[in-house]
Amino acid sequence: MFASSFPSLTCRSDKFFYHSRRPFATLRQHSNQGPQKALVRELSPQFAIGALRTHKALSIDLSLAKKQHQDYISALAQCNVHIIQIPAEDGCPDSSFVEDTAVVVDNRVLITNSAVKSRSKERLGVRNIFEELNYTVVNMDHPATMDGGDVLFTGKEFFVGLTSRTNKYGIEALSRAFPGYRVTAIPMNRFFPKKNSPKYHTFMSLASSSAERPLHLKSICSVAGPNAIAFANSQLGSAIANYMQDHSGVSKALRHSGKSLSFVPVGIPELSNVVYANGTLIMRDPEEFEVDRIQTPFLAEPGEELIQFAEFEGLNIAFVNMSEFAKADGALTCCSILC
Ligand code: CIR
């Protein structure tokens, strides 16, 4: 059992629930079938110069990024999924972050509306491919905005980050698009210290790391296996994992059978974004990360918790170096749509 012992939270408002009052038992029964396809998008030739990034000074090596993207696709292919690669969207440097453009569950796809102008055209090519594949396509329109990076689907329910990219109208649109599933919004800002709190200045200095000021919900947590969520074992990551655990319909429904969600704490926050499909866990290469043994003598080896979890669950592991994508605030989930 890898459930962590993170501290309890006090925030428990129902304000952020959309379908939470529906008893979980009345919601759709989940099928255990894993994804059959992975949609990926060719790297834009403008990726290195034009991709949005929090840390503007970071320079991206385009040829290394291309290699990493190829390795990523090879790792996905090991997950027993059929790879569908579509061309980059013309004039959209971020279009390889295809996850943000759509949310797919069963045979239905919600094409999201980006809050960022430079990314708004990306949805065109994605919508076309899903129409060709005969999915039921639902479009999200203004004022709703969403990035798929904020949407964590456990297979049974949605958790959605309320962020600078995803607003409450976007979450309402998601609830309408997938009426059979419970949707819980996670108000990310609520977990940051208030400006007048004594912790604020410490927090802001830590916040130079994008892991502590994540762009998306899934920058610091992701599905790591059946009923398992990996999360950054940081103050913010633990608070969010705690919130999910408290608000999960599955936890409540299955509490008595002992089959609730389990949470895998990951010491290096950037390693908490993983891809799980059909018995394989893709994680960032632990060699990308160095542990400062003087500052943090007791920290586990990078990725050790995930590797132990995968071994315990009998999952295959694939490592992929994503350093160039991370410079543009991306990681593993963002480069594909599993469906
Ligand atoms: C952006 O700022 O939109 C891109 N540079 C990064 C998007 C990463 N997407 C994701 O993690 N789902």
Of the candidates 19, 79, 92, 216, the residue annotated as catalytic is 216
CA angle 213, 142, 93 (to 5 degrees): 55
Tokens of 317: 């592991």
Mean pLDDT of 215-241: 95
| CA atoms of 214 and 211, how far apart (whole Å) | 5
* Closest ligand 1 atom number to CA of residue 330: 8
Tokens of 174: 């998601």
- Tell me the pLDDT band of 210, cut-offs 50, 70 and 90: low
DSSP 215: S
Helix (H, G, I), strand (E, B) or coil at 88: coil
φ, ψ for residue 296, nearest 5 deg: -130, 70
pLDDT given for residue 295 in this prediction: 75
Does the pLDDT at position 88 exceed 80?
A: yes
Within 13 Å of residue 162, how many CA atoms lie on the same side as its CB?
19
Does the pLDDT at position 258 exceed 60?
A: no
Q: What is the pLDDT of residues 54-86, one digit of tens each?
A: 988 999 999 999 999 999 999 999 999 999 999
Contacts of 13 (CB under 8 A, 6+ apart): none
- Tell me the pLDDT band of 201, cut-offs 50, 70 and 90: low
CB 96 within 8 A of CB 45: no
Which residue's CA is the nearest one to ligand 1's atom 8?
330
* Closest ligand 1 atom number to CA of residue 54: 2
- Binning the chain into helix, strand and coil, the percentages to the nearest 5 are 35, 20, 45
| CA atoms of 110 and 112, how far apart (whole Å) | 6
Q: Look over the chain and give the mean of its residue pLDDT values, rounded to a whole number.
A: 86
Active site residue 221: no
Tokens of 325: 């994508």
Q: What is the pLDDT of residues 145-162, one digit of tens each?
A: 999 999 999 999 999 999
If you write DSSP's letter for every residue of 129-144 in order, what string do you get? HHHHTTPEEEE--TT-
pLDDT given for residue 14 in this prediction: 33
Q: What is the pLDDT of residues 104-145, one digit of tens each?
A: 999 999 999 999 999 999 999 999 999 999 999 999 999 999
CA angle 307, 311, 316 (to 5 degrees): 85
pTM here? 0.87
Gap from CA of 119 to ligand 1 centroid (Å): 10
If you write DSSP's letter for every residue of 9-57 in order, what string do you get? -----GGGBSSTTS-GGGSPPPP-----EEEEEPPPTTHHHHS--SSTT
- Tell me the pLDDT band of 13, cut-offs 50, 70 and 90: very low
Using only C-alpha atoms, the chain has a radius of gyration, in whole angstroms, of: 19
Gap from CA of 243 to ligand 1 centroid (Å): 24
Ligand 1 binding pocket (C-beta < 6 A) is 51-53, 94, 97, 99-100, 116, 119, 147, 149, 215-216, 328-330, 334
Active site residue 79: no
Name the residue type at position 135: Y
**How do 102-105 and 82-86 pair as beta strands?**
unpaired
φ, ψ for residue 225, nearest 5 deg: 170, 180
Helix (H, G, I), strand (E, B) or coil at 176: helix
Tokens of 39: 């949609």
pLDDT given for residue 186 in this prediction: 97
DSSP 197: S
CB 201 within 8 A of CB 237: no
Q: What is the pLDDT of residues 264-294, one digit of tens each?
A: 999 999 999 999 999 999 999 999 998 777 7
* Closest ligand 1 atom number to CA of residue 114: 3
* Residue linked to tokens 């109208």: 169
